[in-house]
Structure 1
């Protein structure tokens, strides 16, 4: 049995003093010895945390005990080691950056697409009157996506609203949106409804939950995750590799960050090219003076930079 757990979760729920909540929540996470990344905003929580099974159990019980987050759906992965090095809990304007900040127009607490459990999504996804829509970024769907899914050429989720016109041709279809854990679909489906799409659905719990409850059937490739694992297996039914090495074209599902920190691009690279280029995406990046040491994983911990005290916000809470 794995010693550690990694929890993926989000919850849209009003937090009145979100900035103070973030500071207090950070202290709580540190008291449990958790690592991970948590975003706190007035609209709710979004996090991935990792720690011992006991610490994660305590964390989930404490979050659920708060009536604001009682309905939070935790996706739990058993891992051999923590999926992060440090713990961060930061206050931001949104728990997923979309640029859709007007609650009078887009508010997942009031209206979203109809939530489909994994079994329901599986039963609907191949129907002729259905379009499967991936609302994730390029680097995410390049390494894995649902078979026959429509993907969008976006670098960040905040670019999603600009693609609505491209989707107009599907207005007479049932739109099944999906993302990693479900959080992006909440706003994506709400925006689609606002723009006049009538039959909008979303995969509850995202790809991760679908892998656990539906075997990941017809999800091709791996699922990108926002921790030091970078990608995880999803499909235990009919897995295939769809991504190719950027450098040689060989099929590979290994995704890394470029070893040049000034590039830091997410891309797929086979082990052979990784060794040859030392984890860089090109010979130019390989020769960069700040190139990081490649250890075969392609995951790099950010090195803290000196703090300019004069520029620190008076609201910043010291760790």
Structure 2
């Protein structure tokens, strides 16, 4: 029996003084013994946290007790060990970076695609007048995606608005969007509607909920997740591996971070090439002086940043959330 749980969730709901909320929410999570990563913005919450079942239950109860977040839908995974090392809760301008100069032009609370429950999505996705659209980044759909899905060449969701023009050919179709947990679809579907698409839908709860409720039928490969697990299985009906090793071309579901921290690229690599390349994507990265030791997992805990005395001085007068690039690229 699993000893821990991992919760994936988001909620679009206005938060006043979101920076202060982030600082207080971090302390609350730590008091429960949770680890994970939460993004707080004026528009809401986006998080993945992990801990004991008791701690996760207490967290969900507290979130639902707040009238702003009482409709939050938690996706719960049973895990053998916590899915993170530390607890982070950071303030950012958006819980999902839209790439828009004025993010306020879209508001998922006012207009977004029609929500489809997993059963309805499954029944609708193979109809002739339907296009299944994956709104995730390259490294996510490279390791798993729905059969016949349209994918976009983007490194981060902030590039999505620039790609909408490539979808013009599908304007007379029903567009079914999907992502890991549903949060990116809220903005992607809103953007499509704003650009004149008329019939736009989104998979409620994303791939994770689809796997839990209808056993992941026709989702090929694995689902990328933003924690130490990196990928998870969702298809229990007709599973299929679709990703290949960058180095040798062999079919493999394994995804890692390049051991060279200056590169840190997410890519698929089989175990044999992993050991041969020492966890690197190329020979150039293998020779990098800061290359991290490879232990077979391809996951690396972020190293502490050098002390910045100027920032410390500023924090004495005003709270500034910690900043820095995560080793796990785009956030869900």
Report the counterpart of residue 319 of structure 2 in structure 1.
316
- Aligned to 1:115, the other structure's residue is in SS state strand
Matched residues in 1 for 2:20 and 2:66: separation? 16
**101 and 47 in structure 1: CA distance in 2 versus 1, 3 angstrom threshold:** farther
**171 and 31 in structure 1: CA distance in 2 versus 1, 3 angstrom threshold:** same
- Aligned to 1:220, the other structure's residue is in SS state strand
Report whether the alignment pairs 1:258 with 2:261: no
Contact in 1 for aligned 2:280/2:286 (Cα 8 Å): yes
Deviation at 1:101, TM superposition (A): 6.2
Matched residues in 1 for 2:100 and 2:24: separation? 27
TM-score by length of 1: 0.98
Q: Deviations over 1:241-291 (max 9, x none)?
A: 000000000000000000000000000000000011111111111111111
- RMSD of aligned alpha carbons: 1.2
Deviation at 1:188, TM superposition (A): 0.2
Matched residues in 1 for 2:68 and 2:4: separation? 27
- Aligned to 1:8, the other structure's residue is in SS state strand
Deviation at 1:203, TM superposition (A): 0.2
Report the counterpart of residue 53 of structure 2 in structure 1.
53
Report the counterpart of residue 93 of structure 1 in structure 2.
93
Report the counterpart of residue 280 of structure 1 in structure 2.
280
Report whether the alignment pairs 1:233 with 2:236: no
**196 and 318 in structure 1: CA distance in 2 versus 1, 3 angstrom threshold:** closer
Contact in 2 for aligned 1:94/1:101 (Cα 8 Å): no
Give unmatched runs, 5+ long, in structure 2. 323-332
Q: Deviations over 1:186-232 (max 9, x none)?
A: 00000000111000000000000000001000000000111111100
Contact in 1 for aligned 2:99/2:160 (Cα 8 Å): no
Deviates more, 1:27-36 or 1:97-106: 97-106
- Aligned to 2:105, the other structure's residue is in SS state coil
Matched residues in 2 for 1:171 and 1:75: separation? 32
Contact in 1 for aligned 2:8/2:47 (Cα 8 Å): yes
**270 and 53 in structure 1: CA distance in 2 versus 1, 3 angstrom threshold:** same
Matched residues in 2 for 1:207 and 1:246: separation? 25
Q: Deviations over 1:133-155 (max 9, x none)?
A: 00000000000000000000000
Matched residues in 1 for 2:306 and 2:288: separation? 22
Where does 1:1-319 land on structure 2 (aligned, <5 Å)? 1-100=1-100, 102=102, 105-312=105-312, 313-314=314-315, 315-316=318-319
Deviation at 1:103, TM superposition (A): 5.9
